[in-house]
Structure 1
Amino acid sequence: MVSNHNLFVSALLSSVLVAPYAVAEEVSPVEEVLVSATRTPKPVSSIPNMVTVISAEDLEEQLTLATDTSGILANLVPGFSPSRQKLSGFGESFRGRSPLYLIDGVPQSNPLRDGSRDGYTIDMAVVERIEVIHGANAIQGLGATGGIINFVTKKPDDSGDLKLGIQAGITTTDDFESDGFEYRGSVYATQKIGKFDYLASVSYHKRGVMYDGEGRTIGVDQTQGDLGDSEQRDFFAKLGFEPTEDQRIQFTINDFELSGDGDWGTVAGDPATGTPATAAKGALEGEPATNDVTTMSLDYSNKAVAGGTLTLQLYAQDFRSSFGGGTFGSFQDPAIAPVGTLFDQSENNSEKKGARLTWDKQNIADSGVNMFTGVDYLHDKTFQRLMFTDRNWVPETKFENIAPFVQAEFPVSEMITVSGGLRYENAKLNVDDYQTLAGNRSDFQVLTVGGGSPSFDDLLINAGVVIEPVAGWTFYSSYSEGFTMADVGRVLRGINTEGVTVDDLFDLKPIKADNIELGTTFTSDRFFAQVSVFQSKSSEGARYVADADGFLRVQREKTRIRGLEALAEYAVTEEFRVGSNLAVQKGRVDTNDDGVLDADLDAVNIGPNRLNVFATYAYGDWSGRVQLSHLFDRDFTNAADALAAEFNGYSLVDLSMSYRMEAGKLQLGVQNLFDKQYITYYSQAGTTRGDRYFAGRGRAITLSYQADF
């Protein structure tokens, strides 16, 4: 079988490498991209931060190489940690911190009880591009201590004709294992009728069990949730009305569900011998892990308000995520069942409502000064219940946040532009008296915790400068502050000491991260490059540490993360492009509260150093891409609470090809082209549990088709 694999690889590589080669006389210039994640559309070159934009073409290509959202981000975004290839994003970080996920500006993250599921709330079939702003900032509000990841959805067509589209794909192992097939498909319709327009889409994604490079099934994470052995569906609709040329009203709804099928169990592996966990057929006890998320927004924009543009967004989200169950010690209660026999599983529930008002004025009084101001409001109600015994593991917690802000950009000279802003965060938690689980204590005493309403306020600042000494070449520097909550739910559910009140809990204090960044960006007809060095500090940071059940608690510590990120792309000819991105980062923490950063940040909280390299080639209706991802070794002998002494890096190669026909576009992708056998980063260095010691996916072949009518 090995020889057949090698022949398969050789044939695919040959089809790309021996394709006709032509040298173009001219190379198309690199297009300047406008980024909306900054609240108002701005060109990348004017933003004093590292920015990555994943275009529609890049997204289409990557969907044949990584069918999980985190995999796409890891391939294209320097500083984003390797994908776990699971439903849970726990252990995935951005610059060693948590990113804020958005859909068209609507927050998807759940900082009050972070279940690490916020990357899976929408199907990529309706996403037009992904905008990523690196580094802590507060421009979009609560949660972006690592950066912002904004999924920008597709817009209705404005031609007046009815347009229809389909996408379909199938993924399999190279052995065509019957249990390993993966199917996905979507259809959409869009049209503009007078002053009205609409876009509606329905998508479906069925995943079988996954296989590693040695042909073994990959264990299914039944507790935290898995993409393998799952079913996903999504309904998306966008309705617009433009009463005048300057005004638009738009309603958007996205209803998403991803649920495990529960057909496979897990046979624990052994980290000591390097034996990965595998999957075995068998009925799952309890209910499969699920993400069920409905997001709605109503947007209004008017380009003629006091000489500027007014935008108002009202949004609501119902986020329900359930986790697999077990007879965990924390769930035991002798008043319900004999200790050690009580099975239960938990479900996070979060209901968010909010408003975002922005007024943007460009070139005030012909001075070149740009300004935008406004106010954000967020109300979040979150709790985590045990599904079978109807006990609240995390009590109902209400969070209210009002944050006015102002941001301005000043041209100092033709070469120098200075920007800066203020955001005043005014937040309040409200928790009523509640009872802990009996299993929190060895004597199974249920405690009553006194409620409280701790409030927080802080003035967050940012400042930046962009210098353009010659056209297309800029240097930038910035300082920005980000703000989030320290997973309130983990703190509240873990209390096991009598006499505690919510108002007394230091661990509920918000996390404030300061980001300092220096960088340069170069853009020409053939070449684009960006290099950034950064430092992110938090005097009262938060690190996750596992307890005896494997559940995580929050540990507040002084934290500092330093790193370098770089990306580059060069158009050798019109047809042939090469590029790469690099991320190097290291974190330090103060483990004994003496003010000295005495240990390295561990693998659960920071990703490895990595290098991604790619080459693309297009000729006529044919195009191809080959990409290499290399994760460097890392020594964790000096890491805080290190779970493994070291991480052994690995390299993966992917290949994709596409052919554009009159009737649509056909794509072929091969993930892990050389069928590399490896243990994922998190499984190697982030856990010692055999049931979470997972291999990465082996060679997977995807054939997809899409067409617009």
Structure 2
Amino acid sequence: MKTRITLLALLTAWHAQGQTLTENSMADSKDIERIVVTGSRIVESIDEVPATITIINRQQIEKQLKVSPELQTILATLVPGLAPSTGTSSNSSQTLRGRSPLVMIDGVPQSTPLRNGALGIRTIDPNSIERIEVIKGATSIYGNGAAGGIINYITKKAHADSKFNGQVSLSSRFSTAKFEDSTGQRIEGMINGQLNNFSYVASASFEENGLQKDAEGDVIGLKYGLSDAVMHNYFTKFGYQFNDDISMQLVINHYQSEQDSNLVDVVGSVNSGEKTYAIKAPAGTDAPGEPQGPNNQNVMLKYTDQALFDNTQLVLDAYAQKVKNTFFYSPVLANPEQGYDGGQSVIKSDKKGLRATFNSLFEWDDLEATIIYGIDALNDVTSQPMVDGRVWVPEMDMENVAGFLQSKWLIQEDLIVKAGVRRENIDLAVQDYKTLRLCKSVDICSIPMAVKGDTLNYSATTYNVGVRYNIAEYFQPFANYSQGSDISDIGRLLRTATVSDIADIQTQASIIDNYEIGFTSVVDNLRMEFSAYRSTSELGTTNKYDPATGVYMPVRAPQEIYGYEALAHYQLADNFDITATYAWVEGKDTKNDIYLGAKQISAPKGSININWSPNELSSMSLTYLYVGNRKRFDTVAGEHVGDKGPINSYHLVNFSGQYQLNRDWQAFIGIENLFNQDYYPAKSQAYTYSGYNVKGLGTTVNLGVQYQF
């Protein structure tokens, strides 16, 4: 018992000090990989969490980064239950267990749930990330937006044993399907160290893409496209240890990616079987609209007192985030009467938050209790105007105050019981506004509505309880029940209003009930994980096409989503291991007894990852990804509609390898889609909307070197 308490105390100190580990507390790096900070807002052993968690460590990130710099691809490859990568800058349809996840950086929300534009996964470069924690299933412990779970990027820490060290990496990517104009380049660097009580980390990444080519050598379509995209990421973390107990940390992150390309789409269709691809704009013309892409800025300040009282820790977090996500130019946003032949929207979101978290530890004989409690306050102002000045989604001003209490009870070291409650109070103010008149054609236009604004009030109490019994290494079962309170995508409901008063729009919050059972088993060098889950919500949101107006109208109806996940990891030798995963999910609108579309429900997904180090100087990794069939929907008047196109299976293989040239220099190679599979990503097959049916990336090679100092 005392050994375990000492370990937890050291790990808690590690978290409070900006994740700067001393040599004494870093005796075994594998122990660090078995901890998690996201699920309960404190550092705890993953073996004491009664839920399914995926941890992606720095070594895994670096191997995947050699293949692709896109976090959507890295996560889809390594996280069972997360839908396949879209191959674009958007994570639309890339749900976690059939619902939208809340994306965070060091516990600070990055998603824009009031108007979910599905760009939250691309908010930081992988170069700045130490590890990624994925908590699956609806949860309210961090507030609104976590209907499917949480993806938390834990940023890099300073090395405590050095005043100054770092690394620089240079690489170039190109298509082997058609080399012309496909070459891109990337440079990333980081410095870090510790000077007495002061620690620092600074990293920068710059990436310039060439043209992204499919297996046939054609340029992939432009909606959320990455051709000619330029990315900048600047990250800094400063920490100061005032004494043994009190520390402060400041994090600043700026991420921006823009696709500024003189290309235009040749639009195909899922129903015709013709792909969408891009060509150079005709001579004398320019591509319409402004450069598209996400722009994300964060400032986070953390104050930690390890011994506020004898057995109580205090963590204060203050943060500010500014988002400006610019979308593609679309002819669907036309209004010929006002002179608009199309349009381009921007999601703007400004968040300011303050969180106070207390953590108290109590001990009686064979019983240990950890009580986490506190208050969260958040102001989120989000809107979606058009670049041309029109207002599509009016400004939504949310004031959110919540109190929470979370407890963990360790009984005789092997029985863990967790229970918690959160009380949410939200005021959402919207001024009077008028919906846009949008025309799909000359004869098919939406009807603009003048809508009276108001302040919408939401309050909810959500609960969670879980049990884990570590009876033996070969069988560690768990079960949990958790709730999430979700008012995601109110903006989409407002912009399609068909009534004159906001009070008459069906904007009620959705309470998600999540049930999960599973187990972990370790037998010699084999580790297995399995979980099955079911989640229900009384007011889910889907789309239904209105042929009279050409608009996809939101439909709110009860939903049930269910599925299972399995993972097996086998360590054949010290230098050779293999991991296999499989995930299956399905869901229905239970009121109408119809299956949910691909915006929520993904096709089955499996993966095999093989890592081998032939000697001390070299290593290589081979990844196989399988996406299965999902064909649940009939045609309407001979065509597939909405997000209900049929998904056919496909297979992808990626490879990465590295060689240590000397103590300081390393060369590496990554190959995405090794066998040049000609395929449509799952989203491209299911989304029948105009211009979304783009093919996946053909064989793309990444060559580079890294220098450490």
TM-score (norm 1): 0.90
**Counterparts of 1:547 and 1:208, CA distance in 2:** 39
* 1:312 and 2:312 aligned: no
2:612·2:621 contact (CA, 8 Å) conserved in 1? yes
State how 1:460-539 maps to structure 2 within 5 Å.
460-471=462-473, 473-497=475-499, 500-506=500-506, 508-523=507-522, 526-539=525-538
Out of 624, 630, 644, the position equivalent to 2:626 is: 630
Distance between the aligned counterparts of 1:679 and 1:642, measured in 2? Answer: 17
Given the alignment of the two structures, is residue 133 of structure 1 paired with residue 128 of structure 2, yes or no? no
Distance 1:529 1:551 in 2: 46
**Distance in 2 between residues matched to 1:501 and 1:325, nearest whole Å:** 30
Distance 1:472 1:664 in 2: 42
Query: Structure 1's 544 and 237: CA in aligned 2 closer, same or farther, altered over 3 A?
Result: farther
Q: Is the 8 A contact 1:401 1:428 kept in 2?
A: yes
Instruction: Give a deviation string over 1:436-489, Cα, whole Å, max 9, x none.
Output: 223389788753211111111111000000011114631100000112213111
Show the counterpart of 2:14: none
Q: Which structure 2 residues correspond to residues 302-451 of structure 1 after superposition, within 5 A?
A: 302-306=305-309, 307-328=311-332, 330-332=333-335, 334=337, 336-337=338-339, 341-364=340-363, 367-388=367-388, 390-439=389-438, 446-451=448-453
- Partner of residue 150 from structure 2, selected from 142, 148, 151: 148
User: What secondary structure sits across from 1:490 in the alignment?
Assistant: helix
Partner deviation per Cα, 1:56-97 (whole Å, 9 max, x = no partner): 010001112233111111100011111111112112211110
The letter of the residue matching 2:57 is S
Q: Deviations over 1:146-186 (max 9, x none)?
A: 11100010012322421121122211112561311121111
Taking the aligned partners of 1:664 and 1:473, their CA distance within structure 2 comes to 44
**Structure-1 residue corresponding to 2:19:** none
Distance, in Å, in 2 between the alignment partners of 1:591 and 1:414 is 45
**TM-score computed with the length of structure 2 as normaliser:** 0.90
CA contact (8 A) 1:262 1:287 kept: no
Shift in alpha-carbon separation, 1:255–1:443, aligned structure 2, 3 A: closer
Per the alignment, residue 264 of structure 1 pairs with 263
Offset of residue 212 of structure 1: 1.3
1:613 aligns with 2:613: no
Q: Give the CA deviation at 1:551.
A: 6.3
CA distance in 2, matches of 1:590, 1:642: 19
Q: 1: distance between equivalents of 2:83 and 2:193?
A: 39
Amino acid at match of 1:537: T
- What SS does the corresponding residue of 2:370 show, helix, strand or coil? strand
**Residue 459, structure 1, aligned to residue 458, structure 2:** no
Q: 1:427 to 1:121 in 2, by over 3 A?
A: same
**Residues 237-268 of structure 1, C-alpha deviation per residue, up to 9 Å, x if partnerless?**
11111111211111111011111112221111
CA separation of 1:414/1:550 partners in 2, compared to 1, >3 Å: closer, same or farther? farther
Partner residue in 2 for 1:15:
none
Question: Is 1:668–2:669 an aligned residue pair?
Answer: yes
**Residues in 1 aligned to 2:629 and 2:242: alpha-carbon distance in whole angstroms:** 58
The residue type equivalent to 1:625 in the other structure is: S
Provide the aligned length of Structure 1 versus Structure 2.
Answer: 665
Partner of 1:74, secondary structure, is: helix
**In 2, distance between residues paired with 1:371 and 1:643?**
44
Q: Which among 195, 205, 208 is matched to residue 207 of structure 2?
A: 205
Cα distance change, pair 391–151 in 1 and its aligned pair in 2 (3 A):
same
- Which residue of the partner structure matches residue 86 of structure 1? 88
CA drift at 1:619: 2.3
Amino acid at match of 1:110: T
SS at match of 2:251: strand
Q: Distance in 2 between matches of 1:176 and 1:641?
A: 33
Shift of 1:391: 2.1
TM-superposed CA distance for 1:324, in Å, is 2.1
Identity of aligned residues (%): 30
Helix, strand or coil: the match of 1:305? Answer: strand
The answer as to whether partners of 1:29 and 1:525 remain within 8 angstroms in 2 is no
Q: Which residue of 1 aligns with 2:47?
A: 45
| Aligned-partner Cα distance in 1 for 2:505–2:498 | 13
1:626-705 alignment, distance < 5 Å: 626-637=622-633, 643-644=643-644, 646-661=646-661, 662-689=663-690, 691-705=691-705
Q: Secondary structure at the match of 1:345?
A: coil
101 and 545 in structure 1: CA distance in 2 versus 1, 3 angstrom threshold: farther
Per the TM alignment, residue 211 of structure 1 is displaced from its structure 2 partner at its CA by 1.2
Aligned-partner residue type, residue 159 of structure 2: D
CA contact (8 A) 2:382 2:396 kept: yes
Q: What is the identity, as a one-letter code, of the residue corresponding to 1:313? A: D
Which residue of structure 2 lines up, in the alignment, with residue 562 of structure 1? 562
Secondary structure at 1:82's aligned position in 2? coil
One-letter amino acid matched to 2:579: G
Quote how far apart the aligned CAs of 1:643 are. 5.0
Match of 1:571? 571
Letter in 2 for 1:77: V
Query: Bigger shift: 435-444 or 192-201?
Result: 435-444
Q: What letter is aligned with 2:313?
A: T
The runs of at least 4 consecutive aligned structure 1 residues that moved more than 3 Å come to 28-32, 363-367, 412-415, 438-447, 544-553, 638-645
SS at 1:179 equivalent: coil
- AA paired with 1:243? F
1:707 Cα deviation after fit: 2.7
Q: Deviations over 1:301-345 (max 9, x none)?
A: 1111112211110000010011122443x54163x33xxx44432
Counterpart CA distance in 1 for 2:293 and 2:269 is 27
Q: Which amino acid aligns with 1:242?
A: Q
Distance in 2, matches of 1:547 and 1:701, equals 44
The farther-off stretch of 429-438 and 376-385 is 429-438
Deviation of the 1:355 alpha carbon: 1.2
Q: Which runs of 5+ in 1 are unaligned?
A: 1-27, 593-597
Q: Is the 8 A contact 1:633 1:647 kept in 2?
A: yes
The 8 Å contact of residues 255 and 295 in structure 2, kept in 1 or not, is answered as: yes
Whole-angstrom CA distance in 1 between matches of 2:163 and 2:706: 19
1:585–1:175 CA distance, 2 compared to 1 (3 A): closer
Distance 1:605 1:582 in 2: 18
What residue is the counterpart of 1:73 in the other structure?
A: 75
Q: Secondary structure at the match of 1:634?
A: coil
CA–CA separation in structure 2 for the residues paired with 1:646 and 1:333: 34
Distance 1:150 1:47 in 2: 16
Q: Which shifted more, 445-454 or 162-171?
A: 445-454
Aligned to 2:22: none
Q: Is the 8 A contact 1:672 1:699 kept in 2?
A: yes
Q: Specify the code of the residue in structure 1 equivalent to 2:609.
A: F
| Structure 1 residue aligned with 2:295 | 292
Instruction: Measure, in 2, the Cα distance between the counterparts of 1:168 and 1:63.
Output: 12
SS of residue in 2 equivalent to 1:491: helix
What residue in structure 2 maps to residue 253 of structure 1? 252
Q: Take 1:669 and 1:478, find their aligned partners in 2: how far apart are those partners?
A: 40
Give how far 1:660 is off: 2.2
Give the secondary-structure state (helix, strand or coil) at the position aligned to 1:439: coil
Tell me, in whole angstroms, the C-alpha distance in 2 between the residues paired with 1:344 and 1:618.
52
2-structure distance, mates of 1:415, 1:190: 39
Letter paired with 1:309: Q
